[in-house]
Every structure is written in structure tokens, then in C-alpha cells.
């Protein structure tokens, strides 16, 4: 299977799965339009926290491996500070590599609980209402 990226490039899903992720990260998920089967503007990949140096090495190696320019690769680092809607969207994507599913589940469960609580407590509606009352 391949994904069209930027109307010019084609990226093999097998090449993404075969990439040596374990050298750089504890998990990697393909998400966004590339997973939906439509032409993607870029390749969105959620990864575990890495140092800036490792991020640069990972990106350089990925560019060589999948044969597309760096501008078409979006690496999203997942940490405890990543907004929950983004975490949930990323983890609904396609796992490319996971060394420790418990780590993925921890992020996912915390964010899922936060989203459920937010809906129950109507936090968005309350915040919008507070702004309009000023």
C-alpha cells in the first residue's frame, strides 16, 4: 500500500513500518490524511519524546528512507503536555512501531478520561459562556 503525498510523492506504508524506529523512539504512529487513503499534504507521524539531536537524526534518516523532502514530513512529539485531542487523533492512526504499549495506553487513557470529563462538565460551553457574559 502507498500513500500519495503532496500530489508528487508516493510513500510506501511497508517502508514506514520497516524503518528502524527502535533506534530513535519508543513508539511511532502514522495519522492524519495519510491514513485515510486520500492524498496527503504531508506525512504526519506521532513519536515519543526524543532529544533535539535525536529528532534531527531521525528526520534525516526518514527522508533518506522514504524518499520525500523533509518539508513533507511532520513529526509530532507526544508528551504529557501534548493537547489531548491531538494525542487521541494520533493514537487512532496506524501503529508503525511500539516498544511499550503500556506507555501508549497511559497517554491514551489520561486523554480519553480528560475528554469524557470535559464533555460531562461542559467545560467548553462554560468557558465560552463566561467569555460572552463579560
| Domain edges within the chain | 2-133
Give the model's pLDDT for residue 73: 95
Torsion, CA 76, CA 7, CA 40, CA 26, rounded to 10:
-40
Number of other residues whose CB lies within 10 A of the CB of residue 34: 24
Rounded Cα gap, residues 130 and 115, in angstroms: 20
Number of other residues whose CB lies within 10 A of the CB of residue 51: 9
- Report, as ranges of residue numbers, the positions in the chain whose pLDDT lies below 70: 38, 117-131, 133-134
Assess contact for 27 and 48: CB atoms under 8 A: yes
Give the model's pLDDT for residue 121: 59
2-133 maps to CATH 3.30.460.10: yes
Amino acid at each position: 500500500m502507498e500513500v500519495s503525498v503532496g500530489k508528487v510523492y508516493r510513500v510506501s506504508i511497508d517502508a514506514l513500518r520497516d524503518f528502524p524506529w527502535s533506534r530513535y523512539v519508543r513508539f511511532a504512529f502514522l495519522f492524519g490524511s495519510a491514513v485515510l487513503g486520500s492524498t496527503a499534504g504531508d506525512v504526519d507521524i506521532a513519536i515519543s519524546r526524543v532529544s533535539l539531536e535525536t529528532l534531527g537524526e531521525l528526520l534525516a534518516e526518514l527522508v533518506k528512507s522514504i524518499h520525500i523532502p523533509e518539508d513533507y514530513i511532520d513529526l509530532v512529539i507526544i508528551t504529557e503536555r501534548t493537547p489531548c485531542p491531538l494525542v487521541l487523533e494520533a493514537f487512532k492512526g496506524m501503529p508503525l512501531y511500539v516498544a511499550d504499549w503500556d506507555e501508549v495506553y497511559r497517554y491514551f487513557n489520561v486523554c480519553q478520561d480528560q475528554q469524557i470529563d470535559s464533555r460531562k462538565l461542559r467545560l467548553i460551553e462554560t468557558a465560552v459562556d463566561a467569555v460572552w457574559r463579560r
